[in-house]
């Protein structure tokens, strides 16, 4: 798209933020949901994939990204819905850059609302459906406003059902075992600092190895190993935000060393840990 198609910054844009320096504003994670607002003028994120839904909207400019073998362009007014474990990146579609807000939602939260139904999938990652726009609005207030826990839970319930309605998801196979997948997930949460085998998960869930592996992917959008790695990255990010040196954050989260953690971090978030911290610091200056 040409620069002429880029939208101007909306009325709620804070004029104190520089438009020529990339930045991220991050609200504290709350109940399995992370909220960010960010501005990028050139390349934002390298190709990466994480195990949460990424749902949001472009506030200004053209937000371009590769997703499912095509380039998508998000403009103000639409809704982005990126499915867990789908590779994507992010860059400015025009010289003016782009500004956006996004929420990252653990699939388990939608499962709690949908009761073990298939995870909703929005083809192409972009939607103009007003049901999604309305349901997303409640979860995308300004980053400076904390959400009441009950407010967030109600909004997540509405968003889960809006996604389910818009996606028109097909039913899962009859043999899929939601309870077994939940037991395996609970086991992983209790074993973040040590290696875990699929045999252990099978024993804990009462399901055979490969059926459990299929069920886990169907209900939570990723493999058991990737899920465990992402929870370790969550722990590492919390430590980094608290001022823990990268090498110590990596060790405490169960990674072999800092380089091991950095490789997984970049693959999951599209930036290195040090760049992520610099962009968070940029908006604080």
- DSSP state string for 66-86: EETTEEEEE-TTSEEEEPTT-
Does the structure show a pLDDT above 60 at 1?
no
> What residue spans define the domains of the chain?
3-167, 178-221, 226-282
Cα–Cα distance, 36 to 118 (Å, whole number): 27
Q: Specify the fold of 226-282.
A: Arc Repressor Mutant, subunit A (1.10.10)
Q: Residue 169 has what pLDDT? A: 67
Alpha-carbon distance of 53 to 80, in angstroms, equals 10
- How far, in Å, are 2, 4, 34, 80 from residue 41 at the CA level? 15, 16, 23, 19
- Residue 172's pLDDT is 67
Bridge partner residues of 278 (DSSP): none
What is the secondary structure of 223-276 as a DSSP string? -HHHHHHHHHHHHHHHHHHTT--HHHHHHHTT-SSHHHHHHHHHHHHSS-HHHH
Q: What is the mean pLDDT of residues 31-37?
A: 91
Q: Looking at residue 207, what is its pLDDT? A: 93
Which tokens sit at 261? 């953690």
Mean pLDDT of 109-113: 90
In this predicted model, which residue has the larger pLDDT, 246 or 18?
246
pLDDT of residue 32: 85
Q: Which pLDDT tens digit goes with each residue over 223-241?
A: 999 999 999 999 999 999 9
pLDDT per position as a tens digit, 124-177: 999 999 999 999 998 988 787 778 889 999 999 999 999 999 997 666 666 789
pLDDT of res. 171: 67
Level-2 CATH architecture, domain 3-167: Sandwich (2.60)
Alpha carbon distances (Å) from 280 to 15, 77, 214, 232, 267: 18, 26, 37, 20, 19
Judged by DSSP in three states, 111 sits in helix
Separation CA 49–CA 209 (nearest Å) = 24
pTM equals 0.82
Residue 2 — pLDDT band, cuts 50, 70, 90? very low
Question: What tokens were used for 265?
Answer: 């971090």
Residue 135 has a pLDDT of 93
**Mean pLDDT over residues 58-77, rounded?**
94
Query: Could you tell me which residues are beta bridge partners of residue 34?
Result: 104
Confidence of residue 251 (pLDDT cuts 50, 70, 90): very high
Query: Does residue 19 surpass a pLDDT of 60?
Result: no
Is 60 exceeded by the pLDDT of residue 30? yes
């Amino acid at each position: 798209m040409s620069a002429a198609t880029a939208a101007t910054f909306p009325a709620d844009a804070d004029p104190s933020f520089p438009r020529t320096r990339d930045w991220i504003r991050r609200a504290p994670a709350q109940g399995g949901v992370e909220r960010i607002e960010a501005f990028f003028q050139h390349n934002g994120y390298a190709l990466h994939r994480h195990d949460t839904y990424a749902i949001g909207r472009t506030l200004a400019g053209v937000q371009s990204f590769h997703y499912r073998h095509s380039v998508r362009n998000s403009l103000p007014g639409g809704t982005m819905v990126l499915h867990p474990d789908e590779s994507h990146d992010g860059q400015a579609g025009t010289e003016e850059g782009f500004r956006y807000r996004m929420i990252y939602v653990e699939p388990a939260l939608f499962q709690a609302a949908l009761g073990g139904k298939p995870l909703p999938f929005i083809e192409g990652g972009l939607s103009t459906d007003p049901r999604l726009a309305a349901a997303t609005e409640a979860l995308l207030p300004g980053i400076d406003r904390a959400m009441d826990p009950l407010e967030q839970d109600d909004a997540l319930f509405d968003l889960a059902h809006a996604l389910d309605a818009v996606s028109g998801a097909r039913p899962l196979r009859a043999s899929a075992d939601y309870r077994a997948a939940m037991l395996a997930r609970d086991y992983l949460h209790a074993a973040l600092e040590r290696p875990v085998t699929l045999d252990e998960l099978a024993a804990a869930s009462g399901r055979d190895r490969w059926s459990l592996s299929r069920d886990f992917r169907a209900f939570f959008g990723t493999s058991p190993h990737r899920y465990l790695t992402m929870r370790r990255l969550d722990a590492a990010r919390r430590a980094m935000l608290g001022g823990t040196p990268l090498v110590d954050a990596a060790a405490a989260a169960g990674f072999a060393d800092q380089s091991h953690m950095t490789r997984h971090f970049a693959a999951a978030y599209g930036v290195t840990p040090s760049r992520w911290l610099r962009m968070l610091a940029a908006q604080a200056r």
